[in-house]
Structure 1
Amino acid sequence: MTIKKQLSSLIIAGLASAALIAPVAASPDELLKLQQQWATVNYQLEGDAQLNAFSELIEQAKTLANQTDNSAEALTWLAISQSSTASAKGGLGALDFAESAKENLERAIEKEETVLDGTALTVLAALYHKVPGWPVSFGSDKKAEKLFKRALEISPHGMDQNFFYAEYLFDEGEYKEAQAFLTRAQNAPEKANRPLADKKRREEIAALQEKLDSKA
């Protein structure tokens, strides 16, 4: 089994004088650091080195989540790190990480459905699509499609949202529909703060295009 392959402010009730403490949220710099570290680990490391680096990244994301009262953004990046670990491990050993990622994505979505332009919805959809169904795990293409469509309502021109939905449609044999969403992914704007991730996603888009071309 293979599982393929970014925070909202929360106001904390203060006890002293029954006042409210200022909202706690992860800074853009903290989030960017996590994203860039994830891209390096996911795309440039392999084997045990990658798994060890993902373990460290998970701990960093947990620390950030604790520091921000489990903000939706921090939970999303924690889940991304966990789901990527599942992908790197593969087999039945991946399922615990996939389950943890699912739980954290659901928590993030409950706090803020639109977090990171629908990223949590997209990652959760991909998990539902890629993991085995009952009785082995929670996989469900029906749930995956519903989540993909909601993510695209939030971010209709997002590269990742369109790519992962196109991949889902390809796997379902809906090649014409897959091409429409893959074209959207190809035309998605670049993000200056994620050059490595964008480069690798473009490569994945090109690979899926080749598969679609072979079906023409």
Structure 2
Amino acid sequence: MTLKKRLSSLFIAGITSASLVSPVSASSSELLELQQQWATVNYQLDGDAQLSAFSELIEQAKALVEQSGNSAESLTWLAISQSSTASAKGGLGALDFAESAKENLERAIDKEETVLDGTALTVLAALYHKVPGWPVSFGSDKKAEKLFKRALEVNPHGMDQNFFYAEYLFDEGEYKEAQAFLTRAQNAPEKANRPLADKKRREEIAALQEKLNTKA
């Protein structure tokens, strides 16, 4: 499986959070604007146009990181932009973006482990699960599982947290457990500020349910 295929299921619908209120100088409106721009790029563009737009988003996110004094929220969104670029780019050229995303997520978690209701923990867990392991990259299912469980402690009813852990369990062949967490994702409340992301996540949830139905 190519790196692009492994990463695409993580970022096709995006990991976002309803809580974008930051205690530092990067305003919630700026973060929300970045999120909305990301959704447009991710869902309505492809090919070179998408890669170019993601590059612009990375630069905007870097500016927010600097403006906010390295806030955990801005670092998380920088990492999401970098990870999405890795997914769009694919191949070995994606690894540098994935590595940068990992570093920024770790910085965000060091500052505030529960940032954006466990979003940074979830994104980092999914990265560890999706990218290749040593010697190609940093992938590790052991680290992924630990991070997934911590993210669920932070946000036990989150759609993203439950979906990605269910996907992880499915990949590990733990179908009964995967179903339990997928059901939680199905029952998770939607968020008013991310209608497109929630729609796409629901589609992914339905697709995973179909796969689980074949394992019953």
Query: How far off its partner does 1:38 sit?
Result: 1.0
| Alignment match, 1:163 | 163
Alignment check: 8 A CA contact 1:72 1:107 kept: yes
Query: How far off its partner does 1:96 sit?
Result: 0.1
CA distance in structure 1 between the aligned counterparts of 2:195 and 2:160, rounded to whole angstroms: 14
**SS of the residue 1:113 aligns to:** coil
CA RMSD of aligned residues (A): 1.0
- Partner amino acid for 1:128? Y
* 1:134-192, Cα deviation, whole Å (9 max, x unpaired): 11100000000000000000000000000111111111111111110011000000100
CA distance in structure 1 between the aligned counterparts of 2:208 and 2:62, rounded to whole angstroms: 33
Does residue 61 in structure 1 map to residue 61 in structure 2? yes
| Alignment match, 2:207 | 207
CA distance in structure 2 between the aligned counterparts of 1:69 and 1:89, rounded to whole angstroms: 29
| Alignment match, 1:71 | 71
Higher RCO (CA-CA < 8 Å; seq separation 6+) = 2
| Alignment match, 1:14 | none
- Partner amino acid for 1:89? K
**SS of the residue 2:97 aligns to:** helix
Query: How far off its partner does 1:90 sit?
Result: 1.1
Does residue 138 in structure 1 map to residue 108 in structure 2? no
**SS of the residue 1:138 aligns to:** coil
| Alignment match, 2:179 | 179
Query: How far off its partner does 1:109 sit?
Result: 0.1
| Alignment match, 2:89 | 89
Does residue 198 in structure 1 map to residue 198 in structure 2? yes
| Alignment match, 2:13 | none
**Structure 1: 5+ residue stretches without partners:** 10-23
| Alignment match, 2:154 | 154
**SS of the residue 1:70 aligns to:** coil
| Alignment match, 2:43 | 43
Query: How far off its partner does 1:25 sit?
Result: 2.5
| TM-score relative to the length of structure 1 | 0.91
| TM-score relative to the length of structure 2 | 0.91
Equivalence map 1:97-136=2 (5 Å) = 97-136=97-136
CA distance in structure 2 between the aligned counterparts of 1:152 and 1:135, rounded to whole angstroms: 29
- How many residue pairs get aligned? The number is 202
Which protein shows a greater Rg?
A: 1
Alignment check: 8 A CA contact 1:43 1:200 kept: no
Query: How far off its partner does 1:195 sit?
Result: 0.5
**SS of the residue 1:215 aligns to:** coil
**Structure 2: 5+ residue stretches without partners:** 11-15
Percent of residue pairs identical: 88
